[in-house]
Amino acid sequence: MIQEIKIPRILISGTGSGTGKTTFTIALTKALQAKGLKVSVFKCGPDYLDPTYHSFITGKTCQNLDGWLMGKESVISSFVSASQGSGISIIEGVMGLFDGHSPNSEAGSTAEIAKWLQIPTIVLIDASGMAATFSAIASGIKNHDPNIPIQGFIANFLGSKSHLSIIETASIPLPVLGGFPKSYEHSFPERHLGLHSAGPDILTEEKLSFWKNLCEEWLDLEKLQEIANSAPPILSEASTEIQIVEKDCKIGIAYDEAFHFYYEENFKKLRENGAELVFFSPLKDTKLPEVDGLYFGGGYPELFADSLAKNKNLIEEIRNFANSEKPIYAECGGLMYLSSEIQNIEGQSFPMVGLIPGKSIMGSQLKSLGYVEVHTEKRTILGEAGIRFRGHQFRYSDLVLDNEDDLIFSYHIRKRKSEQTTREGYTVSNVLASYVHAHWASNPEIPKNFIASCKRFKV
């Protein structure tokens, strides 16, 4: 049944990557929490790293909202479900407001999410070195698509309070709700995949207090809350009640510093279809949990290759698990771990599990980035041949196979931008590994099929 659901909400967008969206979202979240509000935070696009920051701060999993990967119904359903119990929901955009998978389409863009969720939108503009030009940029953004509910602008990377005053007095089509000065010493460090994964060593109390205090001093928080509260009710069929599902399958999830790139929606769909998720650490645990299947997500196995290689007991357990023909599914970093060895950027090699016959070699250049569509060529643990689903790749490594036997490939992958098609989806017995981070909202049959595969070999 369709119902109207009132959710105070606001979207934080920008003119492009690097405009400070993540830092601003963190600051706003901390400032609103200090006012006693429970905050839910979401991230537009396929990114894994920014959500770790929001999850750390809120203590609640930050959901990805991606129009191209998920579709409208799944975006609305995920947003409504994950917003329950919160006083306000904040969505951080991806790239610039209008940037999606194509320059001629809004699919996969922040603008698409803004329209679907009818969410009041704030746009960050890099104001460094400009005054009146800020107004020209703001006007262009406001007039580009009148259907996006833009409610104001934030001037970022300011030189001083005087700089903010100059911009505020310029002829701007919507209010400037404040801004942030440059503060490189309080920025968050980055590495090859983007930001470092969140943790107490990165999100220190000193840094978080700094950004919270800056937010309280430089922003019109009351106006921002007023804008969020002005959002209209969302029409949704999503249930706000907790569904009780009998668990008749256990799936082990590799989750630690080396493996933590997962879409929460994938976990949700596994649970909704009767799977109990059991988390374990390939870095620290010497034994596998008692489970019917294994799921290795992405992450940074190359940074922990030495420690992973030294955990020989767990490696042997995983090999025995595979030999028993129980299903193992792996993505990106998980693929690297299941390969024969990982060669890091310095050229050092470390032996891995060895279920996929090939070497994972890290490079200094980006090997693949972007959306992909997958078409299975043969039956796998995810279902029969001919299944289609969508995903994303972001990697600096290549897999060099020992022998490119056609039998090992089970996917055709089509890159969304170039339309280039490649073969992938490495299959050995009931092991399936790929560089694709699959989003199962693109095909809800995938988690059902994976669970069915696990049940077939349940002891």
Task: Tell me which residues are annotated as active site.
Answer: 332
Q: What is the DSSP letter of 402?
A: S
Contact (CB, 8 A) for 40 and 111:
no
All residues at 6 or more sequence positions from 429 whose CB lies less than 8 Å from its CB, including other chains: 322, 325
Rounded Cα distance, 101 and 373, in Å: 13
Contact (CB, 8 A) for 406 and 347:
no
Query: Within a 10 A sphere around the Cβ of 245, how many other Cβ atoms?
Result: 12
Its sign, for the CA torsion 407, 413, 414, 415, is negative
Burial of 242 (0-12, 13-18, 19+ CB in 10 A): exposed
Task: Extract the runs of DSSP E, i.e. beta strands, from 259-343.
Answer: 259-261, 275-280, 293-296, 298-299, 328-331, 339-343
DSSP 51-104: HHHHHHHHSSPPEEE-HHHH-HHHHHHHHHHHHTT-SEEEEE--SSTT--SBTT
Strand 249-254 and strand 293-296: the pairing is: parallel
Structure tokens at 299: 């992450």
Angle between helices 205-218 and 21-34 (to 10 degrees): 80
Contact (CB, 8 A) for 53 and 163:
no
Distances (CA, A) of 114 to 13, 73, 76, 98: 10, 14, 11, 10
Rounded Cα distance, 130 and 158, in Å: 9
